[in-house]
Amino acid sequence: MLRRTFLMLTTSLAVACAASQANAACSPDYSGVTLTVASQTGPYIASALKLGADEWTKKTCGKVNVVEFPWSELYPKIVTSLTASDATFDLVSFAPAWLPDFVPYLSEMPKAMQSGKDWDDVEPAYRERLMVWEGKIYSQSMDGDVHTYTYRTDLFSDPKEKDAFKAKYGYDLAPPKTWKQYLDIAEFFQRPDKGLWGTAEAFRRGGQQFWFFFSHAAAYTNNPNYPGAMFFDPETMDAQINNPGWVKGLEEYIRASKLGPPNALNFSFGEVNAAVAGGQVAESIGWGDTGVIAADPKQSKISGKVGSAVLPGSDEIWNAKTKKWDKFPAVLPAPFMAFGGWQIAVPKVGKHQEAAWDFVKTLTSPEVSGQAAITGGTGVNPYRKSHTANLELWSKIFSPQEAKEYLGAQADSINGKNVALDMRLPGYFSYTEVVEIELGKALAGQTTPQAALDAVAKEWNRLTDEFGRAKQLAAYRAAMGLPPKN
């Protein structure tokens, strides 16, 4: 029971804090201030915001009102409110990919917040890349997101399974290093008659589908020899999404859809978690929530048997510049920072700038965010060094072995040499919509992977031209952490 746990934790936290700070004066004093935060419908993220809100209220006497919108409405809601210069929201929580669209309307983070212990504690992948836009900081990460690999240790350590696997595939059953191994394992455990299937990923339109696809493709397209060329050529802004690396990724993504439960095509990430926690699948990829939910005995049939690892990779990566496959001496994982973790920012028109940033500080402080990270249902995954370093914090929900693997996978992914950044571009929705549509066709077998991706590439190039190629190129380079061209 997700919420029950959450409730208990919040209450205990609240009681503990109340006891220690019962008579503390409001400092800084924001009594009379009510901050309105736009967020998606809870419990994910919204409940983390409420958790932070309670803390902040205790500290400053200010109030926080969390307003929740359906995920699919959050972007239009924020856009309409920002473009109308409407002072409804003092803070907005959002996906990093939307940042480019929002930047003109956001205020910069106070310089004082951009240093110090808490600042340095934030993982560099967030602090130096996702939170930055054209050299400036407009937002603060409040959640860390990277795709990792989850598997069932009971199956993987079963000697009978190990022998059978080795006999069939000629190598040891272990967390996969390559996507081919990933598919082999899925195929091996595909046993519909026993209620066990290979893997679970999200395949539904509007159900976080394309991030899973990107995870597959990242292994073949995020080339360290030509950085930032995963989605577009950073020199010309030509769409790369139909190159052989992407096609291979898509082929494997489609293959994975056939090695999952029968309704896998209708899975969003929520169903993935349910399938993992229900013990229906042997392995899975997805965000950190999967591990936390699968570890919770109240909602999981496999608690205590959850293993985690970095995403599979590849030793061959497509080079967009030379238009050739580059060979690497060893398998190079390209953990994909899918979505990139929720961020929170302060619109310029907000009336309580100072208070808003103070709330951000409290919300993302190591203590409050650390508590949120281990609470199932907040949707908050590690994004600070202190989150992954503090094993003791996690022992409440994980066994020591689980905790080690889980935190190891999270930390290794974020700090991975070849970590793949998610796409961030103005007009993001226009770009991803066509991906979703074509993915749907390819998954349904209505079109070939190559044709589907060609269609996407054509539309991407058209959109880039419509929005202004130079402008988009500059934005894309900023998003990928590349210096401005010339």
Partner 1 sequence: MSGQGLTGLSTLSRRLVALGVLAWCLITAFPLYWVVVTAFKTPPGVVGGPTYIPFVDFTPTLQPFIDLYQGIRGEFFRTFLNSTIVGLSAAAMATAIGAMAAYALVRFEFRVRLGAGLIFFLLALGGYLLFSNNLGFTRAQALLLAFPIALVIAIIANRLPLPGPILGNEDILFWFVSQRMFPPIVTAFALYLLYTEIGRLGFQLIDSYVGLTLCYVAFSLPIVVWLMRDFFEAIPIEVEEAAMVDNVPSWRIFLGIVVPMSMNGLLATFMITLAFVWNEFLFALFLTNSKWQTLPILVAGQNSQRGDEWWAISAAALVAIIPMMIMAGLLSRMMRSGLLLGAIK
Partner 2 sequence: MMRNDPIKHVFIWPAVLVVLAISIFPLIYSFTTSFLSYRLIPPIPPRVVWFGNYVTLLQEPRFWNAILTTTLIAFIAVGLQYVIGFGVALALNARVPGERLFRVALLLPMLLAPVAVALVARMIFNPTMGPLNQLLSTFGLANLPFLTNGHWALGCIIAVEIWQWTPFVILMMLAGLQTLPEDVYEAAELENASAWQQFWGITFPMMLPISAAVVFIRLIESYKIMDTVFVMTGGGPGVDTETLTLFAYQEGFKKFNLGYTSALSFLFLIAITIIGVTYLALLRPHLEKRR
Q: Which stretch binds partner 2 (CB under 8 A): 35-43, 302-310, 414-422, 436-444?
A: 436-444
328 vs 429 by CB, closer to partner 1: 429
Q: Which does 216 bind (CB under 5 to 8 A by kind): partner 2, partner 1, none?
A: none
d(CA 374, CA 396): 8
Site for partner 1 in 53-72 (CB under 8 A): 65, 67-71
**Binding of partner 2 at residue 430 (CB under 8 A)?**
yes
Q: What secondary structure, in 3-state letters, does 162-223 show?
A: HHHHHHHHCCCCCCCCEHHHHHHHHHHHCEHHHCEEEEECCCCCCCCHHHHHHHHHHHHHCC
Site for partner 1 in 109-148 (CB under 8 A): none
Concatenating the DSSP letter of every residue in 314-367 gives EEEEEETTTTEEEEEEEEEE--EE-S---EEE-BTT-S-HHHHHHHHHHHTSHH
d(CA 282, CA 145): 22
Q: Which does 205 bind (CB under 5 to 8 A by kind): partner 2, partner 1, none?
A: partner 2
68 vs 123 by CB, closer to partner 1: 68
Binder among 5, 81, 141, 199 for partner 1 (CB under 8 A):
81
**Binding of partner 1 at residue 84 (CB under 8 A)?**
yes
**DSSP for residue 304:** T
Contact assessment for residue 62 and residue 354, using Cβ atoms and an 8 Å cutoff: no
**DSSP for residue 129:** I
Please report how close the Cβ of residue 128 comes to partner 2 at its closest, in angstroms: 25
SS3 at position 236: coil
**Binding of partner 1 at residue 79 (CB under 8 A)?**
no
Binder among 42, 43, 427, 481 for partner 2 (CB under 8 A):
427
Please report how close the Cβ of residue 156 comes to partner 1 at its closest, in angstroms: 23
Task: Report the candidate in 96, 119, 100, 128 with the shortest Cα–Cα distance to residue 337.
Answer: 96
**Binding of partner 1 at residue 30 (CB under 8 A)?**
no
263 vs 401 by CB, closer to partner 1: 263
Site string for partner 2, 248-277 (x = CB under 8 A): -------------xxx-xx-----------
Q: What share of the chain is helix, strand, coil (3-state, %, to 5)?
A: 50, 15, 35
Placement of tokens 């959002």 in the chain: 94
**Binding of partner 1 at residue 270 (CB under 8 A)?**
yes
**Binding of partner 1 at residue 8 (CB under 8 A)?**
no
Structure tokens at 159: 């000697």
Q: Which does 444 bind (CB under 5 to 8 A by kind): partner 2, partner 1, none?
A: partner 2
Site string for partner 1, 371-410 (x = CB under 8 A): --------x-------------------------------
Q: Which does 28 bind (CB under 5 to 8 A by kind): partner 1, partner 2, none?
A: none
**DSSP for residue 384:** B
d(CA 43, CA 289): 13
Structure tokens at 171: 């190598």
d(CA 108, CA 135): 11
Give every CB contact of residue 15 below 8 A, 6+ residues apart in sequence.
none
**Binding of partner 1 at residue 244 (CB under 8 A)?**
no
Binder among 28, 124, 206, 400 for partner 2 (CB under 8 A):
206
Structure tokens at 294: 């699968």
Please report how close the Cβ of residue 38 comes to partner 2 at its closest, in angstroms: 16
> 376: burial class by Cβ within 10 Å (0-12, 13-18, 19+)?
buried
Q: Which does 96 bind (CB under 5 to 8 A by kind): partner 2, partner 1, none?
A: none
Length of the chain: 486
Please report how close the Cβ of residue 66 comes to partner 1 at its closest, in angstroms: 9
d(CA 403, CA 407): 6
Integer Rg of the chain from CA = 22
Site for partner 2 in 66-95 (CB under 8 A): 72, 75-76, 79, 83
d(CA 396, CA 380): 16
122 vs 200 by CB, closer to partner 2: 200
73 vs 163 by CB, closer to partner 1: 73
Q: Which does 270 bind (CB under 5 to 8 A by kind): partner 2, partner 1, none?
A: partner 1
d(CA 91, CA 64): 10
Contact set with partner 1 (CB under 8 A)? 1-4, 6-7, 36, 38, 40-44, 46-47, 65, 67-71, 73, 77, 80-81, 84-86, 88-89, 207-208, 267-274, 277-278, 289, 299, 301, 379
Query: What residue ranges bind partner 2 (CB under 8 A)?
Result: 72, 75-76, 79, 83, 100-101, 104, 204-206, 261-263, 265-266, 426-427, 429-430, 433, 436-438, 440-441, 443-444, 446, 466-468, 471
